[in-house]
C-alpha cells in the first residue's frame, strides 16, 4: 500500500479548491512574496550577520593589541603571561608557570581573552 505521508499529502491536495479562473485574486506569484522575503532578509542581516561582524572586529582589535606582559586566557582554558609576540609568524609565547618557567608557543588566534597587564615584581600596581 501507500506510505502514511504519501496518503496524507494526496488527501491534502484533494481538499484544496482549484485556483480561480481568469483575473481574480489568488496567485500573486513571486511578486506577492517579495515584501516578505525582503523583511526576512533584513531580519537575518540585523540579527545574525551584523552582530557577527561586530564581534569579529572586536576580536581582531583585541589580538592586534596583544603585547608583552599581558595576562591572557587561551581558548584551551590556560592562563598565562605573554613573553613574546611574533606577528609575522602568527606566533605567541605564553609563560604559564613561574616556578618552573614553563612556556607554551601557540598561534595568536588561540588567545580567547586579554585580561590586562601582568603586575611587575616589586612594583606598585596602583595607578596614581
Sequence-separated (6 or more) residues with CB below 8 Å from residue 63: 108, 109, 111
Residues 6 or more apart whose Cβ sits within 8 Å of residue 84: 68, 92, 93
Task: Output the nine-digit C-alpha cell for 67.
Answer: 603585547
Tens digit of each residue's pLDDT, the chain (128 residues): 556 655 665 565 556 555 556 555 555 677 778 888 999 999 999 998 999 999 999 999 999 999 999 999 999 999 999 999 998 998 999 999 989 999 999 999 999 999 977 665 544 444 43
pLDDT for res 56: 93
Give me the CATH code for the 37-118 domain, please: 2.30.30.30
Q: What is the pLDDT at residue 35?
A: 87
The SS3 assignment for 73 reads strand
* pLDDT at residue 32, rounded to an integer: 79
Amino acid at each position: 500500500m501507500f506510505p502514511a505521508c504519501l496518503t496524507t499529502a494526496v488527501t491534502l491536495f484533494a481538499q484544496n479548491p482549484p485556483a480561480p479562473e481568469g483575473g481574480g485574486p489568488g496567485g500573486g506569484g513571486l511578486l506577492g512574496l517579495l515584501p516578505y522575503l525582503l523583511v526576512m532578509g533584513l531580519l537575518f542581516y540585523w540579527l545574525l550577520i551584523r552582530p557577527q561582524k561586530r564581534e569579529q572586529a572586536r576580536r581582531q582589535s583585541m589580538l592586534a593589541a596583544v603585547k608583552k606582559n599581558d595576562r591572557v586566557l587561551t581558548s584551551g582554558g590556560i592562563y598565562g603571561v605573554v613573553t613574546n609576540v611574533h606577528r609575522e609568524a602568527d606566533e605567541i609565547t605564553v609563560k604559564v608557570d613561574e616556578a618552573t618557567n614553563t612556556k607554551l608557543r601557540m598561534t595568536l588566534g588561540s588567545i580567547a581573552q586579554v585580561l590586562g597587564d601582568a603586575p611587575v615584581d616589586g612594583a606598585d600596581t596602583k595607578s596614581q
